[in-house]
């Protein structure tokens, strides 16, 4: 009698021990994954980056916990609940457990509502997107008053099939985007052909550019360096060539660049797609149909195509 | 016990073609037998899986090195567009229609579909639009090359200015595919609602039937939006209207709403029947009742309803106002709840079971494992600030391949193996099946797991060339893709040789509960013919000592008789 109680007690303690240590290991690995997740992302170079990375790390932690919890249980089952060969008997006939099912409906509900609330707060904090205003095709894109104040701008960002052009308030045209560090900068995103996307991974920011609309957008770079700007919305044949650099500089260096560049002559800017298209024509125009690339923009700062970048 | 009103006329009404040819020729004819149509769909779909896979491997071949060196970028764009289109519209949808056709009538005890001719017509549209789509490889200018989203204005640029062009054929094919799916959906929904065996109330239906009903209702609600959008796009492209053209005052973003209003739910149309397959197979191979049958059943409709109000999460960075982004973030995240209910129920079904790791079970377990992963990255993508960084990068590509291949295709393979003996009357070779599973799991993981990191680092999707820092992830992914190509060899070998000369299959080789397992293998033309069983319980009562149908022994004995 006594030994039976001791045995069942021992089994109970063993179960509790296994569950607690499994949950403990799961929490530990999840926290580690959350910590590592920062290293999977590019360098942080804008105000948004820290918020996005924290949110991503938070989700990685919770996600890892759930993933390991589920797959760990599956692994346990695979090890201990395998049927011996030729054994075709049934398992424990459990039909369900309403309490358990209510729990695993409510906990995910609370969890996703918490994540979504946290993310909503981040959205309101950053407020990158200004307004989207339609205008008639062929006309100049209108100027829009921004509600939230900014320190510099607006810089016109013009994306084409397949090159970028940046026009500064003082009239500079450039093939690369020079920005002063730690200033909130305002942009007007414009295109006349197809949808493009203004995507700077190091800034963790992306905004589509829609033909027929002018979209205002603001962001604050927080780190000096060279970062890639990539078109992220498929825009046709030479889509993958539609990239340029963002150069974030101290205010002094930026002002010097503004003052010197404005005096330069206009010349053909970066246009790798045009070069590839010329090569294609020279090789007999083989391949499937494409529209002709837009001519290179006329710019004062031609930039450098293969500039080493930090992110 | 509730006995539903059962319309006897539906059971005894004769098939319009009672004596179709019973040899291989019937698979090439306008046959109205749902079982023949099912196999027609599945074989056609598997052929296009090979073609889509080949296109995918060409894409991965280009991406194994950073520069665009294997093809001209225009060719690359056509290849990836056709890869996506073939896989979705020529492989996945026909494949699921095929499984639905094979399984629905036997599972609910019906002799055939409600509308057999409509059913055959829906199938025969598949070769028609497939040929139209494939012809586009040979028209001047090449096939459609604006991605399977076909967003305007890029899709209506028509560089050569010809009336017949790849994009025009693409839209025609997609519209016909939509019409075929609507015909199928009308048929499946009617059959499920009107033709169940006596006693089979809604809460005694197999989960697969629940999920098919949920998915096909979604088709009926969503497809008109896509088909309407596609027709407007056709008019913009071919007749110079300006629904989406800015030159005439149209709005390109409008198309994105039409497109995603259907195309996001489309993912659930594909994944729901696979959830059904998981729910059918786990109890069989774990020898346990499905945990929380009613919760799992109702969760399917939770997914259906929510999936109709999430489409804007594909448009978080198109200039969508803040309130709308936040709203759709909440609705999207809520889908995790009914999906979670299902995942936990499957794991609870496995818990304490007596697991048999046969090929179908391995594919189910692999699919569930991958789905948990893909579901978690899905919640990440629903989070607006994270999506703004990783949206339209390889993170999305990796996520949706985790759902669409690593979950859906795994479930489909599981279903094919599980029901293969039932509908061919032959057993498959277990060893080849396990090789197929191992190669598929390794290939799929190598292919899509590394791409998450490429995306997190900022590699946009749909690029023909990329910066060298992404090379390592792409090399691993390409190797994985080629392993997946190799994985098709044991599969084809197994299917063909088993069907030709496999061991004859008994009526119920897996000792499963379910109406289809009370039929001979393969089932006769009209399934139960004049002896429709009366269902007493849901088909998951393993070890519960609850009878499944009245006079079970009668049907078991009958199933062993040669017909």
Side-chain-facing half-sphere of A18: CA atoms under 13 Å:
9
Instruction: Say how many residues make up chain B.
Output: 563
Strand order in the sheet with A205-209: A177-180, A243-249, A225-231, A196-200, A205-209
B561 pLDDT band (50/70/90 cuts)? Answer: confident
How far apart are the C-alpha atoms of B130 and B156, rounded to whole Å? 21
Interface test with B, best of A49, A240, A284 (most B CBs within 10 A): A240
Side-chain-facing half-sphere of B354: CA atoms under 13 Å:
18
A4 pLDDT band (50/70/90 cuts)? Answer: low
Chain A (106-135) residues lying within 8 Å, Cβ to Cβ, of chain B: 108-109, 112-113, 115-116, 119-120, 122-124, 126-127, 129, 132, 134
DSSP letters, B457-500, are: TT-BTT-SS--GGGHHHHHHHHHHHHHHHHHHHHHHHHHHHHHH
| Interchain contact, B347 vs A74, CB within 8 Å | yes
> Which DSSP helix (H) or strand (E) runs through B262?
helix B252-286
A3 pLDDT band (50/70/90 cuts)? Answer: low
Instruction: Say how many residues make up chain A.
Output: 311
- Which residues in chain A touch residue B73, judged by CB atoms under 8 angstroms apart? 237-241, 276, 287
How many of the other CB atoms lie within 10 Å of CB of A60?
A: 23
CA-based nearest distance A256→chain B, Å: 30
| Interchain contact, B73 vs A276, CB within 8 Å | yes
Q: Are A161 and A238 within 8 A, CB to CB?
A: yes
Is B66 in the A-facing interface, judged by CB distances under 8 Å? no
How large is the average pLDDT for residues A31-50?
96
| Interchain contact, A92 vs B352, CB within 8 Å | yes
| Interchain contact, B75 vs A239, CB within 8 Å | no
**CA proximity to A132, closest of A183, A191, A176:** A191
What radius of gyration do chain A's Cα atoms show?
28
Classify residue A292 by its DSSP letter.
P
Angle at B109 between CA A96 and CA B408, to 5 degrees: 60
Among A90-99, B156-165, B167-176, where is mean pLDDT lowest?
A: A90-99
| Interchain contact, A73 vs B295, CB within 8 Å | no
How far apart are the C-alpha atoms of A16 and A9, rounded to whole Å? 11
Neighbouring-strand partners of residue A187: A155, A217
Environment class of B347 (CB within 10 Å of its CB; exposed 0-12, middle 13-18, buried 19+): buried
Statement: residue B525 has pLDDT above 90: no
Is B334 in the A-facing interface, judged by CB distances under 8 Å? yes
Statement: residue B12 has pLDDT above 60: no
Q: Are A228 and A208 within 8 A, CB to CB?
A: no
How far apart are the C-alpha atoms of B106 and B221, rounded to whole Å? 26
**CA proximity to A205, closest of B379, B467, B391, B314:** B391
Statement: residue B337 has pLDDT above 80: yes
Q: Are B529 and B488 within 8 A, CB to CB?
A: no
Closest CB from B77, B322, B372 relative to A70: B372
How far apart are the C-alpha atoms of A303 and A295, rounded to whole Å? 16
How far apart are the C-alpha atoms of B253 and B131, rounded to whole Å? 30
What radius of gyration do chain B's Cα atoms show?
23
Residue A208, classed as helix, strand or coil, is strand
How many of the other CB atoms lie within 10 Å of CB of A302?
A: 17
- In whole angstroms, what separates CA B476 from the centre of its chain? 27
- Which residues in chain B touch residue A135, judged by CB atoms under 8 angstroms apart? none
Is B254 in the A-facing interface, judged by CB distances under 8 Å? no
Closest CB from B140, B286, B392 relative to A233: B392
B267-291 in b/e form (b: 16+ CB < 10 A) is bbbbbbbbbbbbbbbbbbbbbbbbb
B467 pLDDT band (50/70/90 cuts)? Answer: very high
Closest CB from A113, A212, A289 relative to B74: A289
| Interchain contact, A238 vs B73, CB within 8 Å | yes
Residue A186 backbone dihedrals phi, psi, to 5 degrees? -105, 140
A117-174: per-residue pLDDT in tens?
Answer: 999 999 999 889 999 999 888 788 888 888 889 999 899 999 999 999 999 999 999 9
Neighbouring-strand partners of residue A197: A208
B5 pLDDT band (50/70/90 cuts)? Answer: low
B17-60: per-residue pLDDT in tens?
Answer: 445 556 677 888 888 899 999 999 999 999 999 999 999 999 99
B120-133 in b/e form (b: 16+ CB < 10 A) is bbbbebbeebbebb
How many of the other CB atoms lie within 10 Å of CB of B256?
A: 25
Is B348 in the A-facing interface, judged by CB distances under 8 Å? yes
Neighbouring-strand partners of residue A247: A178, A226
How many of the other CB atoms lie within 10 Å of CB of B553?
A: 7
Q: What percent of chain B has pLDDT over 70?
A: 96
pLDDT for residue B11: 47
Classify residue A225 by its DSSP letter.
E
Interface test with B, best of A80, A215, A288, A309 (most B CBs within 10 A): A288
Statement: residue B7 has pLDDT above 80: no
Is A251 in the B-facing interface, judged by CB distances under 8 Å? no
Q: What percent of chain B has pLDDT over 90?
A: 90
A87 pLDDT band (50/70/90 cuts)? Answer: confident
| Interchain contact, B336 vs A87, CB within 8 Å | no
As given in the structure block, the two tokens for residue B204 are: 């005694």
| Interchain contact, B352 vs A91, CB within 8 Å | yes
How far apart are the C-alpha atoms of A166 and B312, rounded to whole Å? 30
Q: Are A34 and A64 within 8 A, CB to CB?
A: yes
Residue carrying the six token digits 């004049």: B530
Question: Who's near A31: CB < 8 A, 6+ residues apart?
Answer: A61
Statement: residue B16 has pLDDT above 50: no
**Composition of chain A by helix, strand, coil, percent to 5:** 40, 25, 35
Closest CB from A112, A193, A234 relative to B337: A112
User: Domains of chain B by range and CATH?
Assistant: 39-560 (1.20.210.10)
Neighbouring-strand partners of residue A129: A217
- Which residues in chain A touch residue B383, judged by CB atoms under 8 angstroms apart? 55, 59, 115-116, 119
As given in the structure block, the two tokens for residue A227 are: 């970062």
Among A1-5, A186-190, B127-131, where is mean pLDDT lowest?
A: A1-5
| Interchain contact, B287 vs A70, CB within 8 Å | no
A85 pLDDT band (50/70/90 cuts)? Answer: confident
Environment class of B561 (CB within 10 Å of its CB; exposed 0-12, middle 13-18, buried 19+): exposed
Considering chain B, what is the average pLDDT of its residues? 93
Statement: residue A74 has pLDDT above 90: yes
How far apart are the C-alpha atoms of A63 and A195, rounded to whole Å? 33
| Interchain contact, B392 vs A52, CB within 8 Å | no
Residue carrying the six token digits 């060409």: B58
Chain B (392-411) residues lying within 8 Å, Cβ to Cβ, of chain A: 392-393
How far apart are the C-alpha atoms of B13 and B178, rounded to whole Å? 30
- Which residues in chain B touch residue A231, judged by CB atoms under 8 angstroms apart? 460
Nearest CA in chain A to B315: A208
DSSP letters, A177-207, are: EEEETTS-EEEEEEESSS-EEEEEGGGTEEE
pLDDT for residue B127: 97
ipTM: 0.95
Q: What percent of chain A has pLDDT over 70?
A: 98
| Interchain contact, B388 vs A136, CB within 8 Å | no
Using alpha carbons, list the distances in angstroms from residue B319 to A213, B7, B269: 10, 53, 28
How far apart are the C-alpha atoms of B213 and B246, rounded to whole Å? 40
How large is the average pLDDT for residues B134-149?
95
Residue B378, classed as helix, strand or coil, is helix
Environment class of B321 (CB within 10 Å of its CB; exposed 0-12, middle 13-18, buried 19+): exposed
Residue carrying the six token digits 């150069």: A247
How far apart are the C-alpha atoms of A168 and B518, rounded to whole Å? 76
| Interchain contact, A109 vs B458, CB within 8 Å | no
How far apart are the C-alpha atoms of B267 and B222, rounded to whole Å? 12
Angle between helices A47-80 and B336-350 (to 10 degrees): 20
């Amino acid at each position: 009698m006594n030994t039976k109680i001791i045995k069942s007690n021992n089994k109970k303690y063993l179960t509790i021990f296994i569950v607690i240590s499994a949950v403990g290991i799961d929490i530990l690995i999840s926290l580690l994954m959350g910590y590592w997740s920062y290293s999977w992302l590019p360098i942080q170079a804008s105000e948004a980056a820290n918020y996005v990375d924290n949110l991503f790390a938070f989700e990685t932690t919770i996600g890892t916990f759930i993933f390991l919890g589920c797959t760990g249980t599956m692994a346990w089952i695979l090890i201990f609940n395998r049927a011996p060969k030729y054994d075709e008997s049934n398992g424990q006939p459990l039909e369900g457990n309403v309490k358990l099912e209510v729990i695993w409906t409510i906990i995910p509900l609370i969890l996703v509502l918490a994540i979504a609330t946290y993310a909503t707060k981040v959205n309101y904090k950053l407020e990158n997107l200004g307004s989207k205003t339609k205008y008639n095709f062929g006309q100049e894109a209108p100027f829009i008053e921004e509600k939230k104040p900014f320190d510099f701008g607006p810089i016109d960002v013009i994306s084409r099939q397949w090159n970028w052009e940046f026009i500064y308030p003082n009239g500079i045209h450039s093939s690369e985007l020079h920005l002063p560090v730690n200033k909130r900068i305002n942009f007007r995103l414009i295109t006349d052909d197809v949808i493009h996307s203004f995507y700077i991974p190091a800034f963790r920011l992306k905004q589509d550019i829609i033909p027929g609309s002018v979209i205002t957008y603001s962001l604050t770079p927080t780190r000096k360096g060279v970062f890639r700007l990539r078109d992220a919305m498929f825009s046709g044949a030479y889509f993958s060539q539609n990239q340029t650099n963002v150069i974030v500089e101290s205010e002094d260096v930026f002002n010097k660049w503004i003052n010197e560049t404005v005096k330069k002559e206009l010349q053909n800017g970066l246009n790798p797609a045009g070069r590839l298209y010329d090569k294609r024509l020279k090789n007999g125009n083989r391949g499937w149909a494409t529209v002709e690339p837009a001519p290179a923009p006329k710019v004062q700062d031609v930039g450098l195509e293969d500039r080493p970048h930090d992110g | 016990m509730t006995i539903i009103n059962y319309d006897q006329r539906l059971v005894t009404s004769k098939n319009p073609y009672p004596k179709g040819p019973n040899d291989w020729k019937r698979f090439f004819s306008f046959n109205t037998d749902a079982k023949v149509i099912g196999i027609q769909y599945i074989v056609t779909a598997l052929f296009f899986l090979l073609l889509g896979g080949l296109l995918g491997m060409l894409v991965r071949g280009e991406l194994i090195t950073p520069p665009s060196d294997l093809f001209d970028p225009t060719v690359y764009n056509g290849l990836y567009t056709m890869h996506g289109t073939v896989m979705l519209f020529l492989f996945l949808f026909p494949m699921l229609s095929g499984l639905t056709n094979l399984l629905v009538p036997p599972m609910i005890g019906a002799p055939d579909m409600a509308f057999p001719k409509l059913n055959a017509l829906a199938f025969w549209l598949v070769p028609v639009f497939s040929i139209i789509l494939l012809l586009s490889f040979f028209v001047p200018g090449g096939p459609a090359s604006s991605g399977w989203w076909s967003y305007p204005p890029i899709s209506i640029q028509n560089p050569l200015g010809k009336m017949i062009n790849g994009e025009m054929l693409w839209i025609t094919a997609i519209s016909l595919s939509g019409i075929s799916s609507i015909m199928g959906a009308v048929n499946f929904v009617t059959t499920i609602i009107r033709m169940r065996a006596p006693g089979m109330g809604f809460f005694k239906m197999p989960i697969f039937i629940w999920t098919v009903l949920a998915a096909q209702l979604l088709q009926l609600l969503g497809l008109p939006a896509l088909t309407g959008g596609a027709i407007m796009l056709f008019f913009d492209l071919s007749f110079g209207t300006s629904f989406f053209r800015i030159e005439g005052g149209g709005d390109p973003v409008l198309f994105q709403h039409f497109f995603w209003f259907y195309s996001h739910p489309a993912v659930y149309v594909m994944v729901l029947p696979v959830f059904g397959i998981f729910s059918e197979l786990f109890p069989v191979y774990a020898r346990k009742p499905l945990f929380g049958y009613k919760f799992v059943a109702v969760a399917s409709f939770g997914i259906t309803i929510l999936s109709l109000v999430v489409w804007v999460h594909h448009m978080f960075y198109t200039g969508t106002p803040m309130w709308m982004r936040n709203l759709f973030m909440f609705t999207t995240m809520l889908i995790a709840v009914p999906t979670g209910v299902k995942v936990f129920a499957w794991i609870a079904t496995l818990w304490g079971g007596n697991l048999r790791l046969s090929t179908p079970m391995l594919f189910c377990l692999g699919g569930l494992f991958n789905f948990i992963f893909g579901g978690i990255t899905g919640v990440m993508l629903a989070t607006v600030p994270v999506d703004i960084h990783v949206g339209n990068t390889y993170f999305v590509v990796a996520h949706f391949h985790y759902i669409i291949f690593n979950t859906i295709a795994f479930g489909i393979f599981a279903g094919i193996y599980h029901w293969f003996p039932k509908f061919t009357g032959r057993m498959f070779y277990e060893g080849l099946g396990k090789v197929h599973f191992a190669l598929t799991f390794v290939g799929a993981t190598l292919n899509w797991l590394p791409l998450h990191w490429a995306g997190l680092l900022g590699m946009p999707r749909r690029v023909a060339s990329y910066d060298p820092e992404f090379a390592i992830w792409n090399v691993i992914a390409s190797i994985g893709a080629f392993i997946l190509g190799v994985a098709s060899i044991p599969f084809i070998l197994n299917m063909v040789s088993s069907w030709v000369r496999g061991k004859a299959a008994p009526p119920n080789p897996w000792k499963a509960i379910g109406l289809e397992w009370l039929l001979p293998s393969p089932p006769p033309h009209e399934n139960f013919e004049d002896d429709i069983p009366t269902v007493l319980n849901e088909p998951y009562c393993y070890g519960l000592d609850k009878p499944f149908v009245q006079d079970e022994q009668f049907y078991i004995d009958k199933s062993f008789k040669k017909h």
